[in-house]
Homo-oligomer: A and B are copies of this chain.
Amino acid sequence: LKIDIGNETRTIIAGIAETYTPEAMKGKIILVVANLKPAKIRGVESHGMLLAVSGEKGHSLITTDSRVKPGSKAK
């Protein structure tokens, strides 16, 4: 995934394809952990981690209750 985190675009590898199509991900606001060391996942360098809840029906991404600016910080 290419994710706009406000001041830059990050490549982040995530195992959510069973639940989310690439089309469904477009424009979605999600919560990302951006202060991690890059890690190789399936041969590609991942520059962050997205957060999700895993349940019986697959994954549910962590998002915001209303539309916010990309790069906004959760605290």
* A interface residue numbers (CB < 8 A to B): 28, 31, 51-55, 57, 60-69, 72-75
Contacts and interface: CB of A to CB of B under 8 A. Distances in A.
A11 B52 CA distance: 24
Contacts of A64: 53, 60-63
> How many monomers of this protein are in the complex?
2
Given A51-B74, A57-B66, 16 more contacts: A31-B51, A31-B62, A51-B75, A52-B75, A53-B64, A53-B73, A53-B74, A54-B72, A54-B75, A55-B69, A55-B72, A60-B68, A61-B65, A62-B62, A62-B63, A63-B64
Contacts of A52: 74-75
Contacts of A60: 64-68
